[in-house]
Amino acid sequence: MYKILIAEDSKPILRNIKELLLTSGLPVQVVHTASNGADALEGVLSREVDILITDIRMPKLDGLAMIEEAKKAKPGLKVILISGYNDFEYTRKAINLQVTDYLLKPVERPALVEVMERVIVQLGEEHRKEFAVLDGILDPSFSQELTLPPGYFRNKKLVLVLHRQFFRGAVSGFLPGPVQELLNLSFAPHSFRVFAANKPNQLLVLTDPSFIDGSVSPMERLEQIGALLEDEGLPASIAGQFIPAAANEIAGCCHSLSGLLGSRISIAKTCLLDAAHPAGQGIEASEDVERIGARFTDKIQKLQKEPFLRQLEEQLLKWGRTNVRVAQLQRFTALLANAFAAHQQDRNGKNDWAAYMAEVQPLFECPSYGEFCSGLLALLEGWFTETQSLNKKGGYELFSLIDAYLKANLYSQVSMNELSAAFHVSPSYISRVVKKYSNSTLMQYYLDLKIAEARKVMQSNPAIKIKELSDALCFYDQHYFSKVFKEYAGCNPSEYKTMLKGG
């Protein structure tokens, strides 16, 4: 809703304009009316005003002089002048004051609506450009549906970043809507806007500088918000920037606060951080993760499975007691993933570090640290088994068995889980073995075998119908079969049959 101030010394004209605006159906609200230039200027300076509609000639303070002063204070203010025909040349001079548009007396509904619609379009475009300051820091799917009141970024904001606490159970309400409603209700009359950040489990919170006054310190505010979220079952670590930030500074503040949280948040206790005084929190003494990781990567290189798993369990228990920082835990798991990937690379020339990390990342969403530890131990035990198997057999024996199994089941549908159960290895291990020896994914390799079989059938039985062949090979959709056939054979089934007839 755009806010309008009307300045007109003629009461009938003023009432007419106000009535026309109220019944126009436009997204506008008249927040103040003034009968002289001085009162109008005071109204602009003391209120949120998007559009000023003013007569060009006003008592106490001339209309153009008043506009000049108002523009100095609020450069983005849109101004619509009201003038008579005799003042037309005078009105043209107002262009130098960046007057947006003008209306001639008597003001009639069609002309007023036309002018207002043009001004509203301009304000909307400027609002979208203003909102672009949040590009790159919000979740794209969230920002597409975001709406903010006009002029929201006109005043500076306090910036907070909330990070949902790790290993504290499944939290479903840690979303912009519920958190914004909770903050607005609990800290009224202060107003909050909450946004989904582009980093998982993070929210960006903006509020006005009045949230911090002489009666309460920034850290006390952080403690109040933290306790509120904890009581609602939404435990979160919080970092705040309590020096008011202009619109173009918000993205930088968000990145800085997010990085601060990322380096300090621990596995058990929430942390509260004031960017101006980022005192150390979490564990008292930071352990050398690189040194600890080196001990474990050495055992991976030497394939010492049992000592590795025993010592890893002990290390995880120790970190649970000392409240290790999540960043250290993430760095440690990355070192282990890199060690397994490097071992594979030594054998096949390909580094699958990203694939290993993709299996680790979901563990950080576990509802408890205990479940994280169990999951990590099970995962790494599986990696060790696979690595030892590759080291002993090179994986080729398993690939040969998989190949034979797929060829024996061309007229059915084999899934990854079925292969995993048949050969007692993990799906990820099967993927890596097939990739290594076929240079393609399992699905690509299986489809290639099916299309090769289809070509053999058409060679031996050219009269077979394409749909019959598609159904027999479990494609179930003739169009999909034709698409896959063309991708692998270079032509569609009908063209292939024609080629066979032509020799």
Q: Hey, CA dihedral for 95, 101, 104, 105, is it positive or negative?
A: negative
Separation between Cα atoms, residue 30 and residue 240, nearest integer Å: 36
Separation of alpha carbons 459 and 457, rounded Å: 5
d(CA 477, CA 70): 69
Query: In sequence order, what are the beta bridge partners of 238?
Result: 162, 272
- The whole-chain average pLDDT of the chain stands at 87
Quick one: angle between helices 326-348 and 353-360, nearest 10?
Answer: 140
Cα–Cα distance measured from residue 148 to residue 115, given in angstroms and rounded to the nearest whole number = 23
For residue range 474-483, what is the model confidence (pLDDT) as tens digits? 997 889 999 9
Helix (H, G, I), strand (E, B) or coil at 78: strand
3 state SS of 440: coil
pTM above 0.75, yes or no: no
The domain 2-129: what is its CATH number? 3.40.50.2300
Q: How confident is the model at residue 491 (pLDDT cuts 50, 70, 90)?
A: very high
Q: How far apart are CA 391 and CA 410, in angstroms?
A: 30
The proportion of the chain whose per-residue pLDDT surpasses 70, expressed as a percent, equals 90
**CA dihedral of residues 368, 373, 375, 377 (deg, nearest 10):** 180
Q: What is the C-alpha to C-alpha distance for residues 273 and 237, in angstroms, rounded to an integer?
A: 8
Find tokens 């291990």 and name the residue. Answer: 429
- CATH number attached to the domain at 140-274: 3.30.70
Residue 352 confidence (pLDDT): 74
Residue 271 to residue 265: CA distance in whole angstroms: 6
Residue 291 has pLDDT above 50, yes or no: yes
Task: Determine the angle formed by the axes of helices 109-131 and 11-22, rounding to 10 degrees.
Answer: 60
3-state secondary structure 41-54: HHHHHHCCCCEEEE
d(CA 348, CA 138): 40
Helices (H), strands (E): how many in the chain?
21, 10
Query: What pLDDT does residue 175 have?
Result: 92
Q: Give backbone dihedrals phi and psi of 113, rounded to 5 degrees, phi first.
A: -65, -40
Q: State whether CATH 1.10.10.60 applies to domain 397-501.
A: yes
SS3 241: strand
123-137, 161-175, 261-275: which range is least confident on average?
123-137
**167 phi-psi bin (left φ>0, alpha ψ -120 to 50, beta other):** left
